[in-house]
Amino acid sequence: KQEVTQIPAALSVPEGENLVLNCSFTDSAIYNLQWFRQDPGKGLTSLLLIQSSQREQTSGRLNASLDKSSGRSTLYIAASQPGDSATYLCAVKIDYTGANSKLTFGKGITLSVRP
Amino acid sequence: DAGITQSPRHKVTETGTPVTLRCHQTENHRYMYWYRQDPGHGLRLIHYSYGVKDTDKGEVSDGYSVSRSKTEDFLLTLESATSSQTSVYFCAISESRLAGALNEQFFGPGTRLTVL
């Protein structure tokens, strides 16, 4: 059974710092991995998606990497801002059809960026 | 943003009453999902659908049923609500049609359900 872990559960950093959020998964046979952002009381916003054949994806100040063999992904946030404060979740998909098309989620990392 | 709406957005109900949550999409995506989000558990799949009238169970399906009579609508029903079903419910969609395609999953805004 696929399990996804995100440690630590919470992180507080000063504004301007570059930071890395970690995600690990137990079964390396994944189809893709998605990083989401969730603001308090809100839904999930997809940030980046990495296919299993890719090593990284970039969007603005965000860069996500994937190392399937070691079961790890990282989300790099450059020059953090108070507006980046949110919970960040990673999720993996095993296949593109059937029950394995569901996402298995980590419990998230709650990030606080101090002004 | 993907065109996904959920209704109602908030609901308070009493134990033993039936409740139906609605998810509506305008993207014509094949797959639709219902997840629940609880502190300490994260998001977990309740049921999913891979086409009109085609549904299957997820990992926490007990006490829930679903129906999909049209591509755009996916209904989640709690036949007799219990306090343990107090949660935030999210609908998601994915095309999931082609191997090698992105098959990105998009989420709705959520429904906060409280069962007293």
- From B99's Cα to the closest Cα of chain A, the distance in A is 7
Task: Write down the pLDDT at residue B98.
Answer: 66
Using an 8 Å Cβ cutoff, are B18 and B75 in contact? no
User: Model confidence over A49-62: pLDDT tens digits?
Assistant: 999 999 999 999 99
Beta bridge partners of B54: B51
Determine whether the interchain pair A46/B107 forms a contact, defined as Cβ–Cβ distance below 8 Å: yes
Q: Stretch A64-80: mean pLDDT, rounded? A: 96
One-character DSSP codes across B55-67: EEE-TT-TTEEEE
Task: Write down the pLDDT at residue A98.
Answer: 75
Q: Stretch B4-29: mean pLDDT, rounded? A: 96
Q: Which residue of B has its CA nearest to A46?
A: B106
Q: For A60, left (φ over 0), alpha (ψ -120 to 50), or beta? A: left
Residue A8, pLDDT above cutoff 70: yes
3-state SS, residue B87: strand
Predicted confidence band of residue B6 (pLDDT cuts 50, 70, 90): very high
Q: Stretch B61-79: mean pLDDT, rounded? A: 97
Q: Which of A29, A102, A20, A30 lies closest to A63 in space, CA to CA?
A: A20
Determine whether the interchain pair A103/B106 forms a contact, defined as Cβ–Cβ distance below 8 Å: no
For chain B, the average pLDDT equals 92
